[in-house]
């Protein structure tokens, strides 16, 4: 284990990193099995439930641990070193409650009930927004999932894709378009015979997240199941407070990358080369690559944890950091890919063998590029901001 991580600031951080390391150790031995089979790791989630992991981002007044953004990133990074899939999957649950803890359009009694169910029963929660027909609503457009008003409630029909945690959730939320009102709203759905789960998840990486399709066949929900409207151009729980909750995504991929770093240093220290008459760790070109890996990790950690600390410390800037959040996700995830590639180049052809974990790390870390915001959205947003600032500056009279 490489312990050069300088992100542990105090005894409180140390407590949570030791907790995360202990939980990660319990799931590490079976991570490759679930990757190979693509099965959902119910065993892992039983451990997470027993360890109280589902309540980490829930407010203390409702029985949770109410971890700060910085603290939850520390925990998630470590869990991902053991299993990127499990960390990513439970991360969506944690992100849901973290975002709602800081931007809550729902009725308080609904939020309280769901918090207590998560803490006391280990119930998981996620929102399903992506559709194969309409894509991700982050890029604009209305969902094709429709909600029709009827007496005392709504009838909802539609199909959601990439529904992470689908095999285990007992309830979830969806974004649906209400035609009569020409508005999009978030609804709480409880699984019943009208909710169908279709196993469409057969992918390159993050194979055991259970990100299947969910089909809603004339699902009736009562009026109170309408949690909040999600109007275009208005702040909501998905974009409020700069979407800082999404920083858990780069934390997961950084965890995978650091697992690759730890593995390759140990591997290189044990791999004897007859031509060197020594282990390959002593080869200059290997140390060059390790140095590059360490620099990329330092940059990624500096951005990620520096931004989290800023967000935690100053409530006044939380609505002003959207671009920094997007740039951090972009940078960390792209660095993570490069880190794993460098680790594989040290192992050479052996890195492609399923007997080593590097090929799993390689496949898993690619997925960070496809979690929103995607690279093109970040780059285009940064460019647009730069152009806007330039043109605004041109309008300001310069001192003579």
Domain boundaries, the chain: 11-121, 127-229, 240-388
**pLDDT higher than threshold 90 for residue 394:** no
Q: 60-76: per-residue pLDDT in tens?
A: 999 999 999 999 999 99
What pLDDT does residue 44 have?
A: 98
Q: What 3-state class would DSSP assign to 198?
A: strand
Confidence bin at 396 (pLDDT 50/70/90): confident
Share of the chain above pLDDT 70, in %: 96
What pLDDT does residue 1 have?
A: 43
Look at domain 11-121 and name its CATH class: mainly alpha
What is the average pLDDT across 147-173? 97
Contact 333, 249 (CB under 8 A): yes
Rounded to 5°, angle at Cα 74 from 72 and 75? 65
**pLDDT higher than threshold 50 for residue 2:** no
What is the average pLDDT across 44-59? 98
Q: What DSSP string describes 129-190?
A: --BTTTB-GGGSS--S-EEEEETTEEEEEEEEEEETTTTT-SEEEEEEEETTTTEEEEEEEE
CATH of domain 240-388: 1.20.140.10
What is the average pLDDT across 83-112? 97
Burial readout 70-107 (b: 16 or more C-beta within 10 A, e: otherwise)? bbbbbbbbbbbbbbbbbbbbbbbbbbbbbbbbbbebbe
Q: In the 8-state DSSP scheme, what is residue 398?
A: P
Q: What 3-state class would DSSP assign to 127?
A: strand
Q: Quote the pTM value.
A: 0.95
What pLDDT does residue 399 have?
A: 66
Same fold? 11-121, 240-388: no
Fold classification of 127-229 (topology level): Butyryl-CoA Dehydrogenase, subunit A; domain 2 (2.40.110)
Q: 216-249: per-residue pLDDT in tens?
A: 999 999 999 999 999 988 889 999 999 999 999 9
């Amino acid at each position: 284990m490489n312990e050069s991580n300088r992100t542990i600031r105090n005894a409180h951080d140390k407590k949570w990193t030791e907790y995360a390391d202990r939980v990660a150790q319990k799931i590490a031995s079976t991570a490759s099995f679930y990757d190979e089979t693509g099965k959902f790791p119910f065993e892992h989630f039983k451990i997470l439930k027993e360890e109280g992991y589902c309540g980490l981002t829930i407010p203390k007044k409702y029985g949770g641990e109410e971890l700060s953004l910085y603290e939850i990133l520390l925990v998630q990074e470590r869990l991902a070193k053991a299993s990127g899939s499990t960390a990513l999957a439970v991360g969506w649950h944690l992100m849901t409650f973290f975002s709602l803890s800081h931007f809550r359009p729902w009725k308080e009694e609904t939020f309280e009930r769901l918090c207590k169910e998560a803490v006391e029963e280990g119930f998981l929660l996620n929102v399903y927004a992506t559709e194969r027909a309409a894509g991700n609503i982050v890029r604009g457009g209305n969902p094709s999932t429709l909600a029709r008003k009827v007496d005392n409630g709504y009838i909802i029909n539609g199909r959601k894709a990439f529904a992470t945690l689908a095999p285990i959730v007992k309830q979830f939320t969806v974004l649906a378009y209400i035609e009569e009102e020409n508005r999009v709203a978030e609804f709480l759905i409880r699984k019943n015979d009208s909710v169908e789960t279709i196993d469409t998840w057969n992918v390159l990486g993050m194979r055991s997240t259970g990100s299947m399709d969910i089909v809603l066949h004339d699902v009736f929900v009562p009026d109170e199941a309408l949690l909040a409207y999600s109007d275009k151009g208005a702040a909501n729980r998905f974009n409020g407070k700069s979407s800082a909750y999404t920083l858990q995504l780069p934390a997961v991929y950084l965890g995978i990358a650091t697992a690759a770093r730890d593995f390759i240093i140990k591997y290189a220290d044990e791999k004897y080369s007859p031509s060197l008459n020594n282990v390959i760790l002593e080869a200059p070109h290997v140390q060059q690559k390790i140095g590059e890996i360490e620099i990329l990790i330092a940059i990624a950690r500096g951005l990620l944890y520096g931004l989290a600390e800023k967000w935690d410390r100053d409530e006044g800037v939380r609505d002003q950091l959207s671009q920094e959040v997007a740039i951090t996700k972009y940078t960390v995830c792209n660095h993570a890919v490069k880190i794993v590639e460098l680790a594989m180049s040290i192992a050479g052809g052996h890195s492609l063998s399923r007997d080593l974990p590097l090929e799993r790390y390689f496949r898993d870390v690619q997925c960070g590029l496809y979690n929103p915001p995607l690279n093109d959205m970040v780059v285009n947003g940064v460019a647009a901001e730069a152009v806007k600032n330039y043109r605004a500056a041109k309008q300001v009279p310069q001192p003579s």
